[in-house]
Amino acid sequence: MSHAILSPTLQADHKTESMKALVFHGPNQIAVENMPRPRPGYGEAVIRVTLTTICGTDVHILRGEYPVEPGLIIGHEAVGIIDELGPGISGYAVGDRVLVGAITPCGQCSSCLTGNWSQCGGVPIGGWKFGNTINGAQAEYLLVPYAQANMAKVAADLRDEQVILLADIASTGFSAVESADVQLGDSVVVIAQGPIGLCATAGAKLKGAGLIIATESNPVRKKMSLKMGADVVLDPTLADVTAEIHKLTNDRGVDVAIEALGTQATFETALRVLRPGGTLSSLGVYSGKLNIPVDAFAAGLGDYKIVTTLCPGGKERMRRLMELVRQKRVDLTPLLTHTFPLSQITDAYSLFSRQEDGVLKVAIKTQEPKLLKANNGQC
C-alpha cells in the first residue's frame, strides 16, 4: 500500500529534476542553464556525463556558421555512467561506464545496413544527432538514442581522459587514413595540424605509413605533430610546401594527401602534391564553392581519387579505438591541454575558439568531484 502511494510521488519528483547544460540561443549566444533532466524511452539510455569536450564544429555552431535550432544543448562527445535505462536494452546495467560516439547510428536503416553508419537515415550527415538535431553532451545528463548500438563500455583501467577524444576527433582523424586505404610504406602528408589533423597524423603512423609529412605554422601544433608521428613538419608561412613535398618524395609526390582544414587553398595544395593515382582524403568542412584546378588534376586523367569521410561512430568503432589506447598503440591525452568545470564552459569556448594559451582540446568536467563515484566500468 505504501508503495502504491510512494511510487507516483517519486516519479513526479524525478520528472521535475533539472540539470545544468550549455544551451545555444543563437549566434554568439550560449549560456549554462537549468534544463530538464532527460528520461529514457524505449531503446534509449540516460548517462550521467563525467567528461565532455568542445569540438571545432561547436565553434562553427556558436558563430552561426552551422545552423542548429535555438534552445538546443550542444556538444557531441561524452564519457559517462549509465544512470537510467529505457526498456528494450540488454547487456547493460545502471552504473556501467560508457563512451558514446559523436555519431549515433540507429543500426537498422538502409544507410546503416549498407555500412554508411554516419549517414544514418539516408540523409547526409544523418548519423550526427547530438548537439545537431537532438540535445547534446555539454550537460550533466545525456539521452543516448539507439543506446544498444551506441554505448561502448570503458575498461576499468582506462581513465575518462584517455578515451574522450575517441568519440569524435580521433575517430575522424584516423578515418582519413582508413578511407584512403594507406598501405605500408606509403608517403602521407597531413595538411593542417589542428586536433583532427594531429589525429590523422597519429592515424598515418598507426596504419604503417613510411614518410609522414605535416604542414602547420602554429608552434604548439608543430611540436605536437612530431609527437603524434610526423617525420617532417613544413611551415606554410616559411616554405613553399608544394615544392618541399616534391623534394622530400624525390619528385614522386605523396601517395596520400589528407586535407584537414577545409579551405580552397589547402585542398589545392593536397591535389598538387599527390602522385598520379594518389588519394586525396578530405576531412575539411568547406563552405562556398570548392574548385578543382584542372592543371593540378591532369585535366581529369590522372587517376586521382578524392574521398571524404564523416566521423565514424557506433559502439564497435568505439570499442576498437579504445583497444588501440588500451594496448598503448596511441596516447591522445597530450591533446587535452586545459580542463574546465561545466559551470565555466563559456570561458573554455572563448579560449578554444581563439586558440589562446597553446590550447588544443579542453576537458570539460561536468560533475563536482565529490559527486563522482569511483569508476566502475567493466570490460
**Residue ranges binding Zn ion (CB under 5 A):** 55, 57, 105-106, 109, 112, 120, 168
105 vs 253, which CB is nearer to Zn ion? 105
Least distance in Å: CB of 132 to Zn ion? 10
CB 347, min distance to Zn ion, A: 20
The contacts of residue 271 (CB under 8 Å, 6+ apart) are 257, 280, 292, 293, 296, 297, 304
Taking the least distance from each CB to Zn ion, the nearer of 119 and 162 is 119
Nearest distance from C-beta of residue 128 to Zn ion, angstroms: 8
Nearest to 166 by CA among 379, 284, 329, 21: 329
CB under 8 Å to 109, separation ≥6 — which residues? 120, 121, 122
When the beta carbons of 52 and 179 are compared against Zn ion, the nearer one is 52
Nearer residue to Zn ion within complex by CB, 120 or 177: 120
User: How far, in Å, CA of 313 to CA of 105, rounded?
Assistant: 7
Grid cell listed for 271: 591535389
Q: In what order do the strands lie in the sheet containing 305-308? A: 232-234, 212-215, 188-191, 254-259, 274-282, 305-308
Give least dist CB 366 to Zn ion, A: 17
| CB closest to Zn ion, residue no | 55
State in angstroms the smallest separation of the CB of 46 from Zn ion. 21
- Rg for the chain, CA atoms, rounded: 22
Nearer to Zn ion, 78 or 230 (CB): 78
- Least spacing, CB of residue 172 vs Zn ion, in Å: 7
Contacts of 201 (CB under 8 A, 6+ apart): 173, 190, 193, 212, 214, 225, 228, 229, 230
Nearer to Zn ion, 172 or 249 (CB): 172
20 vs 371: CA distance, rounded Å: 14
